[in-house]
A and B are shown apart, each in its own frame.
Chain A
Amino acid sequence: MDSRKGFHQSLEELQREILKMGVLVEEAIYLGVKSLANLDVQMAQNVIDGDRKINDLMVDVESACLRLLALQQPMASDLRVIGTAMKIVTDLERIGDHAVDIAKTTLRLSGDKLLKPLVDTPRMADLAKEMLRDALNAYVSHDVTVAEQLAKKDDVVDGLYKHIFNELQGMMEENSAHVKQGIMLLIVCQHLERIADHATNIGEWVIYMVSGDRKDLNV
């Protein structure tokens, strides 16, 4: 019998809010990169405007966590669920900010022509998005194995980043007129690389939530 049913329902509610946030963030990554590939200013603006909702959700979850800490004095796994929620929403919010920065690049490049059609960048975005989805799946299903696998995927993202870096470097060396856009696209990739790191962080928190162990997946 659960003698703290209301409290435990509040913990489930936290999880639902985090998932809601996760869906919005995932969409922001997708649309941010798509707006860049298509140089679609309206789509980019939607991503920027939508960030507010993500930030609001973070504040809601943080407030709920602090309220539960103050009023319910959680222990053991309950405590870890709340601590994890507070950390995960920070990572999600940062991912949202990176998506916004990517969308802002679209605005800066509006009117320009891309140096070349983006192929690897959307691939990197897909991988980062996939990592985020895995991290959230691991969170919902309390699956340490899925969380641990994020380390490998992060390595793939890092590899792609290096590849794009070299490619853009070559283009910039070839033609100095490419430098401005080259740097912007490089920064976009840096954002994607950071997104993958945040997804890995979420995985680390899932491991902590489930097992109580702290593990560094980003080595």
Chain B
Amino acid sequence: MTSAIATKDKIRAQGLSLFYGDNQALFDINLEMPEGSITAFIGPSGCGKSTLLRTLNRMNDLIPNVTINGEVLVDGENIYAPDTDVVNLRKNVGMVFQRPNPFPMSIYDNIAYGPRIHGIRKKRDLDEIVERSLQQAALWDEVKDRLGKSAMGLSGGQQQRLCIARLLAVDPQVLLMDEPTSALDPISTLKVEELTQELKSKYTIIIVTHNMQQAARISDTTAFFLNGVMVEHGVTDKLFTNPTDQRTEDYITGRFG
């Protein structure tokens, strides 16, 4: 079975290089990430995959001595242009982290936090957003009777889905996921994976994962990185059954490392 790949690019990295001081961490990355699909980044530790993910919503801005050359286009607009509204960018391109990081407040307030910042005040509107977001994150049924309780009381898997719901509440277009299941148990992992399949029709998803089977299970396209270089990018089915580059072959069959 060949995965259907949407043709329109949602995000595109063009000639992207990144330096931490004098150390170059990314080398001339050219990569299109199609709308309405899941792109996985795989590669050994230190290969640059998380660094690249963070360039997609300018999270690297927060790190001193980072220099970025090239462009990242979201819907054709370069997000590194001087007039970019970074807050708005991060609303459109949200990120889920390795460890769930709920705010120390109620489940409801976690979800309502973003919409409130963006000016939504009416309780009825907020109620609707909270329910819709939790529904979309497949968490509603588990928490609907305890929305006022602290989010810190949820299990790890529930917390991660809460964080996804929190992103969805501000109506993003792209979800960046940085090893979103590495701290979760297998069942919670499967729930998050299942969730990505439901979300991808509406959102463009880019996921960094150390788990190659996870990349194979959930993504439509996969990019393999090594030492800051994108070695191969292609349809996931093909990359995991018959990769083009010998380095990809060696990595995914465990013949180096």
Identify the A interface with B (CB < 8 A). 1-4, 7-8, 73-80, 211-212
Asked if A75 and B212 make an inter-chain contact with CB atoms under 8 angstroms apart, the answer reads yes
B213 at the binding interface (Cβ < 8 Å): yes
Asked if A76 and B253 make an inter-chain contact with CB atoms under 8 angstroms apart, the answer reads yes
- Distance in Å: Cβ of B210 to nearest Cβ of chain A: 14
Categorize the interface residue count of chain B. Answer: 10 to 19
Asked if B255 and A79 make an inter-chain contact with CB atoms under 8 angstroms apart, the answer reads no
**Interface window among B105-113, B126-134, B241-249:** B241-249
Q: How far is the CA of A3 from the CA of B252 in the complex (A)?
A: 11
Q: How far is the CA of A172 from the CA of B193 in the complex (A)?
A: 67
Partner pick for A77 among B213, B216, B253, B256, CB 8 A cutoff? B253
Asked if A75 and B242 make an inter-chain contact with CB atoms under 8 angstroms apart, the answer reads no
- Distance in Å: Cβ of B67 to nearest Cβ of chain A: 34
Residues of B within 8 A of A211 (CB): 242
Query: Contact flags (1/0) for B208-243 with A, using CB distance below 8 Å?
Result: 000011001000000000000000000000001111
Q: How far is the CA of A161 from the CA of B240 in the complex (A)?
A: 42
Instruction: Enumerate the 7 nearest inter-chain pairs by beta-carbon distance, A residue then B residue, closest first.
Output: A212-B242, A4-B254, A75-B252, A3-B254, A78-B253, A3-B257, A73-B213
Q: How far is the CA of A73 from the CA of B243 in the complex (A)?
A: 16
- Distance in Å: Cβ of A2 to nearest Cβ of chain B: 5
Residues 32-63 (chain B) with a chain A CB within 8 angstroms: none
Asked if A75 and B256 make an inter-chain contact with CB atoms under 8 angstroms apart, the answer reads no
- Distance in Å: Cβ of A195 to nearest Cβ of chain B: 30
- Distance in Å: Cβ of A8 to nearest Cβ of chain B: 8
Partner pick for A80 among B242, B254, B255, CB 8 A cutoff? B242
Q: How far is the CA of A80 from the CA of B252 in the complex (A)?
A: 13
Which of B212, B240, B241 gathers most chain A CB within 10 Å?
A: B241
- Distance in Å: Cβ of B254 to nearest Cβ of chain A: 4
Residues of A within 8 A of B240 (CB): 75-76, 79
Asked if A75 and B216 make an inter-chain contact with CB atoms under 8 angstroms apart, the answer reads yes
Closest chain B residue to A213, Cβ basis: B242
Residues of A within 8 A of B212 (CB): 73, 75
Asked if A3 and B255 make an inter-chain contact with CB atoms under 8 angstroms apart, the answer reads yes
Residues 122-145 (chain B) with a chain A CB within 8 angstroms: none
Residues of B within 8 A of A77 (CB): 242, 249, 253
Asked if B256 and A1 make an inter-chain contact with CB atoms under 8 angstroms apart, the answer reads yes
Known: A76-B248, A76-B252. 19 other contacts (CB 8 A): A1-B256, A1-B257, A2-B254, A2-B255, A3-B254, A3-B255, A3-B257, A4-B255, A73-B212, A74-B253, A75-B216, A76-B241, A76-B242, A76-B243, A76-B249, A77-B249, A79-B240, A79-B241, A212-B241
Residues of B within 8 A of A75 (CB): 212, 216, 240-241, 252-253
Residues of B within 8 A of A76 (CB): 240-243, 248-249, 252-253
Closest chain A residue to B256, Cβ basis: A1
Q: How far is the CA of A3 from the CA of B44 in the complex (A)?
A: 13
Q: How far is the CA of A212 from the CA of B248 in the complex (A)?
A: 15
Q: How far is the CA of A80 from the CA of B253 in the complex (A)?
A: 11
Query: Contact flags (1/0) for B163-206 with A, using CB distance below 8 Å?
Result: 00000000000000000000000000000000000000000000
Q: How far is the CA of A3 from the CA of B254 in the complex (A)?
A: 5
Which of A7, A77, A78, A79 gathers most chain B CB within 10 Å?
A: A77
Closest chain A residue to B257, Cβ basis: A3
Residues of A within 8 A of B256 (CB): 1-3
